[in-house]
Amino acid sequence: MAEVRPALCRICGSYCPILVTVEDGRPVKVTGDPGAPLYDSYTCPKGRALPEQHNDPSRLLHSMKRQADGGYEPIGSEQAMDEIAAKVSRIIAEHGPRSVALYWGTGMCTLAENVSVAAAWMEAIGSPMIFGASAIDKPGAPIAQAAHGHWLGGHPPFEAADAWIMIGLNPLISCSGGFPPNNPGLRLKEAVGDRGMKLIMIDPRRTETARRAHLHLQIRPGEDPSILAAMIHVVLAEGWEDKAFLADNVVGVERLRAAVAGFTPSYAAERAGVAAEDIVTAARIFAQARYAGIGVGVGPSFSLTGSLTDYLSTALTTLCGFWSREGDVVAKPNILLPAYEARAEAVSPFQGWDYGERLRSRDLGNSVAGMPTGAIADEILHEGEGRIRALFCMAGNPMMAWPDQHRAAKALRSLDLLVTAELEMSATARMSDYVIAPRLSLEVPATSALVEGIKHIGHLRGIEGPYGRYSPAIVDPPAGSDVIADWELYYGLARRMGLQLTVTTSFGKGPHADAPPQRDPIDMETKPSTDDLLRLTHRNARIPLERVRQFPHGHLFEEVDERVKPKRAGATGKLDVGNGYMMGLLRDVAGSAPDRTSAEYPYLMLSRRSNRLMNSGGRNNPRLGGKEPTNPAYMNPADLAELGLIAEDRIIMRSRFGAIQAVVAADPGLRPGCVSITQGFGANPDEAEDPAAIGCNSGRLLSADAEFDDISGIPRIGGVPVAIERARTAQKMETGPAAGDQVP
Ligand SMILES: Nc1nc2c(c(=O)[nH]1)N[C@H]1C(S)=C(S)[C@@H](COP(=O)(O)OP(=O)(O)OC[C@H]3O[C@@H](n4cnc5c(=O)[nH]c(N)nc54)[C@H](O)[C@@H]3O)O[C@H]1N2
Ligand SMILES: Nc1nc2c(c(=O)[nH]1)N[C@H]1C(S)=C(S)[C@@H](COP(=O)(O)OP(=O)(O)OC[C@H]3O[C@@H](n4cnc5c(=O)[nH]c(N)nc54)[C@H](O)[C@@H]3O)O[C@H]1N2
Ligand code: SF4
Ligand SMILES: [Mo]
């Protein structure tokens, strides 16, 4: 019998409300939920393919153990935990807790508590080696915020904006970052079409989002800081800054003015390859708006200007005073997170880096962006005391995601123990000692707290409105399966190792630094259910979880009608728009050549997101990867013509660090000289290749340590100089690491 149940899609961080048709206990169909607030029934192809993800014949229904011959056999989850607990205990006893590391990836969107419990286990064993995908994503966002300070009033509502800048961000496909995540297409249509909001796009590609832009600066990759510095130059030269706001709340304006002095519109235009008038127009539209916002995506981050681009964007926002003021509505109050007091007050810059654990192989350490995931492979390979010997990989796919796939493979192969929780025999699972089969999102409960928390990081928006949502598990795992929620592995290990786990239950107050986080123990005697765990992690919620649970489609808790409170008497916090480190980075820009290509490597490789996949996830889903098995290398038709190529031709794309075979496709919207390709495709280095059938791995063209951000360690992922030549049919090719790229 079919029944329709409301749920939350958690393939990505948008958390769209959905209706799932359940037949004989199995999900069979997903549609948007018209009964839910804020999302207007939005879903994307990935969400609509949740039934296929859950019912996929290649889904792991049992955990797997690698055998002596390299093959895999099913193993009971309890037995696997017994064996893993024994092995990891031995590794800790012999080599110390630092030899155990955790890596979590984007699949954590399924249930944020999975990471909380895994991190609690890491804390209990005494290892600081927690690495996340966020440190190879937009690590510059929290770093810039630490350098600039935090405005306790928060962002004004998106509805109030009459201009918006998006920098290397394509929310119509990614639903990500500095734009409302709830139905971005409709939000943009309302804003641009109905309200006349002026959209300014900064992207080398005329993306789906850029097609709606009032002004598109189709820049040379990596030149975002030049554009922003020139916009700041114009704003200060014209006197468009909000002088009253600056006088009360901001320091560093004169340092900033001096630093941008050389960045005239014509200088920046020359560097970025755009028209100087367009930079002036962008500055005018932004500064003269009643309220305007900026969203920064992965584009600049991958071009290694993430921190500076985020910082200058924030400085521009602050110069124009585009923050909520006393008496304004709090656009994003906490509901499932603990209450916080929005005040028209600055938190001064805080220490964002140079603290905590340091790596042994490079001068990198912990920071507000987390441990430097870009360097984790080195930390596994680098011999000596403290070397990572056991890696727990949760909801991530290092073989598809870590820069320099050859080095990643070498690192994973050299581990004593690799445990991966993964729903299919992914590229990383195929290298693991144990593969733990997880419950999928429709089989575990969750809340919308994650989407609430994002707002506290710089320009990231999160959800607006007093919205709260709980979704129960709506189906049981398939009959006869042995799958566990991801957190249960760490709970199970802790029990076996006699460890008490403690989780933070006041997460999500933002960088307020008022009170230390509240922490509570998990019951280690009687195993909690995931719902018990949610009760614990939400115990300080602004609206009690029990009340949120009464609304199966989610709810806007209009009683939470908060206004921004006045600045406290004696408050001394100031935002800093002239941070010395950031001004130094800007000086480096002025001293660098804008064009990174050469006769040998005349093109720049960029990354783009596929509408059907979540990074590498979904490639086996017949409705998703099944319809889009490959990742073409998109080029401008003029470049293709010059190379004598037509769509679907095979090419060899070569960087200083490696080579891959790809098929080409035309994208007339791409800036000439660029090649744009989706990540997460291809095979492992020792497996068969076929670019037309399984795509290719762009990570092979990256180096983890040739160029990297000196705080977060993120390496260059975009704007990578490459050479392109036609491949002869079935050409044999050397794709090993380049000679110069030896691991230390
Ligand atoms: N060359 C190149 N490299 C990149 C990027 C790029 O654009 N180009 N992008 C970077 C970015 S922005 C990121 S965020 C990282 C992503 O890095 P990762 O997060 O490591 O990679 P994903 O491919 O997103 O892997 C997520 C995995 O989680 C699995 N999964 C999904 N749900 C669950 C679940 O509930 N439980 C468990 N156990 N597993 C689950 C999926 O099957 C998938 O294999 O890659 C980075 N690396
Ligand atoms: N459908 C779908 N959605 C996803 C994902 C997915 O794989 N598929 N992945 C999720 C993840 S992990 C993330 S991090 C987000 C990412 O979401 P976004 O940040 O929106 O990332 P992209 O869609 O790759 O858009 C980045 C843009 O930056 C441009 N760009 C490249 N280099 C530069 C540069 O130097 N400067 C500027 N200004 N632009 C540049 C590229 O052309 C591209 O259009 O998406 C998330 N959502
Ligand atoms: S945007 Fe797509 S994948 Fe992300 S939550 Fe919504 S339906 Fe799911
Ligand atoms: Mo990401």
**Mean local confidence (pLDDT), 161-189:** 96
Name the β-bridge partners of 216.
201
Closest among 23, 31, 33 to 474, alpha carbons compared: 23
The pLDDT tens digits of the residues spanning 42-96 come to 999 999 999 999 999 999 999 999 999 999 999 999 999 999 999 999 999 999 9
Query: Considering only CA atoms, which residue is closest to atom 2 of ligand 3?
Result: 44
**φ/ψ of residue 21, rounded to 5:** -85, 125
> Is it the case that residue 406 has pLDDT exceeding 90?
yes
Query: Considering only CA atoms, which residue is closest to atom 45 of ligand 2?
Result: 174
Q: What's the CA gap between 429 and 421, in Å, rounded? A: 8
Q: What's the CA gap between 736 and 405, in Å, rounded? A: 10
Q: Mutation test of ligand 2: which of 174, 206, 451 has the most ligand atoms closer than 8 Å to its C-beta?
A: 174
Distance 541 CA to ligand 2 centre (A): 32
Q: Is 495 buried (19+), middle (13-18) or exposed (0-12) by CB count in 10 A? A: middle
Residues in the chain: 744
Structure tokens at 50: 């949740």
**Mean local confidence (pLDDT), 557-571:** 96
Q: What's the CA gap between 658 and 674, in Å, rounded? A: 18
Tell me the CB-side half-sphere exposure of residue 135, using CA atoms within 13 A.
Answer: 27
Own/partner contacts of 1-9, CB < 8 Å, gap of 24 or more, are 2/28, 5/474, 6/33, 6/35, 6/36, 6/471, 6/552, 6/553, 7/441, 7/442, 7/471, 7/472, 7/474, 8/441, 8/446, 8/448, 8/469, 8/471, 9/43, 9/46, 9/47, 9/50, 9/441
User: Is 399 in contact with 427 (CB distance < 8 Å)?
Assistant: yes
> Is it the case that residue 742 has pLDDT exceeding 50?
no
Q: What's the CA gap between 447 and 552, in Å, rounded? A: 11
pLDDT reported for residue 738: 44
Cα 387 to Cα 94, 329, 365, 379, 598: the distances in Å are: 12, 50, 15, 6, 38
Strand 346-347 versus strand 353-358 pairing type: unpaired
Confidence (pTM): 0.97
- Sheet of 215-217, strands arranged across: 215-217, 198-202, 163-167, 292-296
Query: Considering only CA atoms, which residue is closest to atom 14 of ligand 2?
Result: 137
Q: What is the mean pLDDT of the chain?
A: 95
The pLDDT tens digits of the residues spanning 602-660 come to 999 999 999 999 999 999 998 998 888 899 999 999 999 999 999 999 999 999 999 99
Q: What's the CA gap between 573 and 248, in Å, rounded? A: 10
Structure tokens at 731: 């050409």
pLDDT reported for residue 514: 64
% of the chain exceeding 70 in pLDDT: 97
User: Is 64 in contact with 73 (CB distance < 8 Å)?
Assistant: yes
Q: Is ligand 2 within 6 A of the CB of residue 370?
A: no
> Is it the case that residue 577 has pLDDT exceeding 50?
yes
- Nearest atom of ligand 3 to the alpha carbon of 45: 2
Q: Using 50, 70 and 90 to split pLDDT, how confident is the model at 744? A: very low
Q: What's the CA gap between 622 and 624, in Å, rounded? A: 6
> Is it the case that residue 743 has pLDDT exceeding 80?
no
**Mean local confidence (pLDDT), 537-560:** 97
The residue type of 588 is D
Locate all alpha helices (DSSP H) within 320-354, ordered by sequence.
none
**Mean local confidence (pLDDT), 482-511:** 91
> Is it the case that residue 513 has pLDDT exceeding 90?
no
Residue carrying structure tokens 């997903």: 30
User: Is 281 in contact with 215 (CB distance < 8 Å)?
Assistant: yes
Q: Is ligand 3 within 6 A of the CB of residue 47?
A: yes
Query: Considering only CA atoms, which residue is closest to atom 4 of ligand 3?
Result: 12
Q: What's the CA gap between 404 and 704, in Å, rounded? A: 6
pLDDT reported for residue 739: 36
> What residues have CB less than 8 Å from 449, skipping those under 6 apart?
112, 336, 337, 507, 508, 537, 538, 541
Q: What's the CA gap between 160 and 356, in Å, rounded? A: 40
- Sheet of 72-75, strands arranged across: 72-75, 63-66, 434-436, 417-421, 390-394, 100-104, 130-132
Task: Please report, to the nearest 10 degrees, the dihedral formed by the alpha carbons of residues 368, 371, 374, 379 taken in order.
Answer: 160
pLDDT reported for residue 398: 98
Q: Is 299 helix (H, G, I), strand (E, B) or coil?
A: helix
Helix (H) or strand (E) holding 606: strand 603-608
Residue 498, number of CB atoms within 10 A of its CB: 10
3-state secondary structure 469-501: CEECCCCCCCCCCCCECHHHHHHHHHHHHCCCC
| Ligand 1 pocket at CB < 6 A | 105-107, 110, 133, 136-137, 298, 394-398, 400-401, 421-423, 426, 438, 440, 486, 607, 614-617, 679-680, 698-699, 702, 717
Q: Is ligand 3 within 6 A of the CB of residue 205?
A: no
Query: Considering only CA atoms, which residue is closest to atom 42 of ligand 2?
Result: 205
Q: What's the CA gap between 150 and 170, in Å, rounded? A: 25
Own/partner contacts of 707-710, CB < 8 Å, gap of 24 or more, are 707/304, 708/304, 708/362, 708/374, 708/375, 709/139, 709/140, 709/304, 709/306, 709/307, 709/374, 710/363, 710/364
> Is it the case that residue 509 has pLDDT exceeding 80?
no
Q: Is 641 helix (H, G, I), strand (E, B) or coil?
A: helix
> What residues have CB less than 8 Å from 116, skipping those under 6 apart?
487, 503, 504, 507, 537
Tell me the CB-side half-sphere exposure of residue 46, using CA atoms within 13 A.
Answer: 24
> Is it the case that residue 371 has pLDDT exceeding 90?
yes
The pLDDT tens digits of the residues spanning 104-113 come to 999 999 999 9
> What residues have CB less than 8 Å from 193, skipping those under 6 apart?
none
Q: Is 245 helix (H, G, I), strand (E, B) or coil?
A: helix
Helix (H) or strand (E) holding 30: strand 26-32
Helix (H) or strand (E) holding 8: strand 2-8
Give exposure, 284-306, as e/b (b: 16+ Cβ within 10 Å): bbbbebebbbbbbbbbbbbbbbb
pLDDT reported for residue 30: 98
Residue carrying structure tokens 């011959």: 69
> Is it the case that residue 458 has pLDDT exceeding 60?
yes
Q: Is 224 helix (H, G, I), strand (E, B) or coil?
A: helix
pLDDT reported for residue 320: 98
Q: Mutation test of ligand 2: which of 608, 609, 675 has the most ligand atoms closer than 8 Å to its C-beta?
A: 609
Q: Is 58 buried (19+), middle (13-18) or exposed (0-12) by CB count in 10 A? A: exposed
